[in-house]
Structure formats: structure tokens, C-alpha cells
Amino acid sequence: MSKKFFLLVLPALLLLILTGCNPYEKVLKSNDMNLKLTRANEYFDAKKYQQANELYQQMIPVFKGTKSFEPLVLRYAWSFYNMKDYLSASYWFKNFVDYFPTSKEAEEAEFMHALALFKESPKTSLEQTNTIKAMEALQAFVNKYPTSKRASEANAYMDEGRAKLEKKDGDAANLYFKISQYRAASVAYRSLLRNYPESERADFYQYMIVRSLYLYARESITEKQEERYANAVSAYRELADLYPQSVYLADAQRISRLSDASINDLRKQKS
């Protein structure tokens, strides 16, 4: 054997030797399922979740229907969660609840199903389907376990989700206004008020309706302007009635006066 050939095959030989001596690889290839389960639990307890997960995966179909299946499924779900594979974790926590609805761990598993979904909630600028699904799961948990020690935490996550959805909708409304799509902006701000009536920014949304309707009226054809200025005045009155202490009230009043003046001018032109 030439020295050059030896140097070429040496890395492969070393890898083969090391692999053959690797205790994890031996367990992974073993047909002894009880040994696999013992080692998987040891890996899990040592926070070696990837190794535990791979072993649990092999055992799921084997232990189904046995007394070992319940803790196995739960640890399998937790291994995904600790590996930050939240979609798989959510799926398996839900499976656990479906398999063992009367288990003492079912409540926690149902909460973790919802929390894992919430962990997949994207940043505000992205599509929020996962956020909505997570909030639905969290609400279902609170409805089912209203006295749970996790209920306040679930409510806090729902508040966070609502804030994210509100910000996304608010950004969309602001964009309509920025690009001078004033009618669309007014509709979007009204939608915000309808969907988030308790929002701390509710008076701002109403104020932006006033602004949007005024600018929409100003850019309209003459025949439509009087009606649309009147809508801006009505929106101002809503702001004054609902939010009399709003910091936006003074400027909204200015816009309302401009709208009234425009209506008077239009009527003079008709006479």
C-alpha cells in the first residue's frame, strides 16, 4: 500500500472506526426497544434532544398501546419543542391530548400546543395566519381551563397577538393614507375601530378617519364634495363625543371647520 493511498483512505477509516464505537449509533441500530427507550430517556434528561428525538421516533409505532406510550409521546413532543421545531411540537402536543384526554398532563400539553403555535407567529410585516391559529388555540385553552394556573399566561399571549394584528392592520391603514388612497384609508381605520374597540389608539383611528374623509372630499368631483365633506364633519362629531379628552381633537375641529366652510362655498355656487 502506497503512502499516498494510505493518506487518502485514512480519514474514511477513522470515521468508520469512530462511528462503530459511537454508543449512540449502536443504540440507534439496535433491535432492543427497551434499551432504546432507556437510552432515549437518558439523552432527554441530559438535554440531548436531537438524539432522544430520533430514538423516540423509532419507538412511537412500537410502544403504541403499552403503558410506556403516554410518557413517550409527551417526551417526544417536548423534544421537538426544546429543539425549537415548534410546528412539530404543536402537532405532537395536540396528539398527546387526543390520545390521552384524561391524563393529568393533558392540560399542560394543550397549553403547550397553543404556545408552540404562538412561537411560530411571524414578525408584523408578514402574513399572520399562524398568529391567528395560535390565538384561537389559546382561547380554546382558556375556555376549557378557565381556572388553570396557565390561564393568565395564555391571556397575556393573546394580548400580545392582538397587538401584533392591530399593528399590522394599522400599518396597512397608514399606508393607504400615505399613498393618498383616502377612501380606502377611512375604511381601514373604521375596521381598526371595529376590530380593536378597546385599543389605546382608538382616538387616533377616529381622528385619521376625519382626515381621510376630508382629503377624500377635497379630491372628489364637485357633485360629490358636499356629501363627503359632511361625512368628515360627522366623523369629527364622533371623535368629540367618544373621546372628548383626545389630543387630536383640536386639529380634528380645524378640519371640521374647513369642511363646513367648503360646504357653504359649494352651496353658494349652486344658488
Measured at the CA of 77, the angle between CA 28 and CA 106, to 5 degrees, comes to: 135
pLDDT at 3: 54
pLDDT tens track for 66-122: 999 999 999 999 999 999 999 999 999 999 999 999 999 999 999 999 999 999 998
Q: How far is CA 192 from CA 99, 152, 159, 163, 209, in A?
A: 40, 25, 16, 12, 11
pLDDT band at 27 (very low <50, low <70, confident <90, very high): low
Q: What is the mean pLDDT of the chain?
A: 91
Q: The C-alpha cell of 248 is what?
A: 387630536
Domains of the chain as residue ranges with CATH: 31-179 (1.25.40.10), 181-271 (1.25.40.10)
* pTM (two decimals): 0.79
pLDDT tens track for 213-267: 999 999 999 999 999 999 999 999 999 999 999 999 999 999 999 999 999 999 9
pLDDT at 33: 79
**Are 252 and 236 within 8 A, CB to CB?**
yes
